[in-house]
Amino acid sequence: MSKTLDLLNEQQKDGVLTTEGPVLILAGAGSGKTRVLTHRVAYLIDEKGVAPYQIMAITFTNKAAKEMRERIDKLVGFGGEAVWVATFHSSCVRILRRFADRIGYDGRFTIYDGDDQKSLMKDICKRLEIDTKIHRERSFLSVISHAKENLIEPEEFLREAEGDFNRTRQGQVYREYQARLMANNALDFDDLIMKTVELLRRDSEVRDYCQRRFRYIMIDEYQDTNTAQFELVRLLADGYRNLCVVGDDDQSIYKFRGANIYNILHFEEHYPDAKVIKLEQNYRSTQNILRAANGVISNNTGRKAKSLWTDLGDGEKILLRQFDSAYEEAAFVATSIASMANRREYSYRDCAILYRTNAQSRLLEEKLVADNIPYKIFGGVNFYARREIKDLLSYLKVIDNAQDDLAVRRVLNVPRRGIGATSMDRVQAYANSSGIDFYQALTKANQIQGMTRAAAKILAFVALIERSRQVLAQEGISKCLLYIIDQTGYADGLKAEGTDEARARIENIDELINKVILYEQETEKPDLNDFLEQVSLVADIDNLDESADYVTLMTLHSAKGLEFSNVYLVGMEDGLFPSYMSITAENADEEIEEERRLAYVGITRAREHLILTAARMRMVRGQMQYASLSRFVEEIPSEVIDGNLPAEIMTGNFLWEDDEKSPRYGSRAYARKNAAEVHRTSSAQKYAAAAKNFGDSGKKPLDYQLGDRVLHVKFGEGQVTSIVDGGRDYEVTVDFDRVGIKKMFAAFAKLRKI
């Protein structure tokens, strides 16, 4: 064991040898925390003589638990299998299987997954006569999950909700939900933690047994624990207090899942005698990348002070590129990857593209497909394979070709119209017997035997499709899509859910709208069938062999714990990252600190090469919006950046437009404050006009004027009929000879006078 310890640095060694009492190991990104945990287990067994079964090591994912188990077995050898290595949930299942009868459950209880929960909630809403078109089942489940993460029982929830009609109704649903779970001898995933805490609190015999059994407890990724998990750990460790928690407050990015950063920030308050050990030597990244990460995260106030360093050398500077549009940004990323692969600097598998929201992947996917670059999306699915996108594309497919039975069946009851499987089977039987397709059978629903109740709902669906076809013929694809979204209430239903997942799905819908509008603008004769064909070609990338060499695409949240030689952080703009939701929130400081931790995680995924990209213009729900460079980029020390931005941007000062109310020179912070204020008081459509208040626009004078003949690379020749000053850019209307009238932004259109 002593020879093995010689491979550790002094701080890592301290973490291994400090075995008694509470210990907090602050492990910076890439600092070897798993090595410390596994060597600590081996030291306890080999040198301290602790029985393996008295050691508990808890982590968050099965993958992490499996890796830890393998490394412990390799270090310890015989007997290592007796060490309790598991996730929080699997640990609780093992305890509850043995002692669940103490709290009224049978040890053979069922664990409900997400689908089981939805089915149960659907029955409860029906029993309580709740209109699920207004109050979605998912929103109730989200509220219940949040309550359980904070150990709030139904009766306590109802007491706190007194006087609030909506909260009281949620409490009643919660109470009924728990009663039904117990009647079914079932627990959901949140129950596994909460019910184990209840067991340990209520039953001193079980609590004493568990505390004697687990004399040494280690918790990995402690910054991700929620309130219930904190209480579980406290109850288990209170016997011997040999508790070692390992984590990094700077990587606490799961607040939306219930993670409570104060568990790690206030550890010494709960354990005043705790020893704090900092792991700051990084074994992953170059020093320039670490300087960037340190520069960003140092702006957070709610953190434990630490600074990463490495002996791997300075490495390359961080490349920063700002483009006129998101399209140019995506094209640059694809070209850069292809160039590096061709020069054999990096293989595809060495490259990762990280973004803040799933919706950003759409343009990137299309450019990668166009350039023949293999890729795979992690932590999500192909943009066009996402449920909400497939639903809306299926509507468009039905409008284009109602003979597509699969598409018709997919959307017939989406959103739900009360058309069940039995009704669909009757329609199919009628279609078969009549020798017609499924959609034709739907048009004759009132003639189908046994369809009295569902016929009206089916015919309403048919009427929607027929009206949508009229909109398509008269106003085009984008207006048709917007009509479907409006008439079905698809997005409204997601808004009513109010969950993070629902908000992400709305962002994806907005990105689909962007795609359709761009297709119409860039195509001489837009056609729905042609559009659907283009989309299907992009979606075909899913057929790639997963074992092949491919580029990784994922959200920043999904990237935690991973590392790549060459990383692209895209969309580094205020309003996107950090999001406007965080910038304009009531608790904006707290929300932005969470976003800044996410930026820190993204930067520290890179080993050798880091590229940051941003777009001055980005389309949002069909409207071109302007954005300044992300404040997180500005927090990176300028000496580690190789950028294409003016020096005044790099130093944080820039020219303002002449304005009596604005100084000639100002800080980016002032501009951001102004931007946030405009966002609060302006709609998205007014944003472009308000953008001129945000700082230096970089708007170039036009070399053409009203009435001039101009040339567009795709649309050909035309005459300028209108020029509107939109603040950061001019909105130009051109009557093209071949394709008619088009509106576009000057910087985006790149028109040339002829």
State how far the Cα of 412 lies from the Cα of 424, in Å rounded to an integer: 9
The SS3 call for residue 375 is: strand
Check 251, 287, 604, 625 and give the catalytic one.
251
Residue 203, both tokens: 């039953």
**Is position 317 annotated as part of the catalytic site?**
no
State how far the Cα of 284 lies from the Cα of 312, in Å rounded to an integer: 8
Residue whose pair of structure tokens reads 């990237």 in the numeric block: 559
**Is position 33 annotated as part of the catalytic site?**
yes
Strand 730-736 and strand 740-745: pairing? antiparallel
State how far the Cα of 555 lies from the Cα of 361, in Å rounded to an integer: 9
Q: Which residues contact 50 (CB under 8 A, 6 or more apart)?
A: 44, 215, 216
Note the Cα 480 to chain centre separation in Å.
29
**Is position 634 annotated as part of the catalytic site?**
no
How far lies 292's CA from each of 226, 413, 564, in Å?
29, 50, 16
Check 12, 33, 196, 360 and give the catalytic one.
33
**Is position 220 annotated as part of the catalytic site?**
yes
Check 18, 19, 34, 487 and give the catalytic one.
34
Check 149, 176, 191, 220 and give the catalytic one.
220
Residue 285 has φ and ψ, to the nearest 5°, of -110, 160
Check 148, 195, 284, 605 and give the catalytic one.
605
Note the Cα 180 to chain centre separation in Å.
32
**Is position 625 annotated as part of the catalytic site?**
no
Strand 665-667 and strand 653-655: pairing? antiparallel
How far lies 595's CA from each of 79, 577, 623, in Å?
43, 7, 25
Contacts 24+ apart (CB under 8 A), 437-443: 437/402, 437/403, 437/405, 438/405, 438/408, 438/409, 439/398, 439/402, 439/403, 439/405, 439/408, 439/465, 440/402, 442/408, 442/412
Segment (H or E) for 481: helix 477-488
State how far the Cα of 364 lies from the Cα of 385, in Å rounded to an integer: 15
State how far the Cα of 149 lies from the Cα of 134, in Å rounded to an integer: 25
State how far the Cα of 69 lies from the Cα of 550, in Å rounded to an integer: 29
- Whether cis (ω within 30° of 0) applies to the bond prior to 272 is no
Check 149, 176, 188, 221 and give the catalytic one.
221
Q: Where are the beta strands (DSSP E) in 482-580?
A: 551-555, 564-569
Segment (H or E) for 354: strand 351-355
**Is position 251 annotated as part of the catalytic site?**
yes
Catalytically annotated residues = 33-34, 220-221, 251, 605
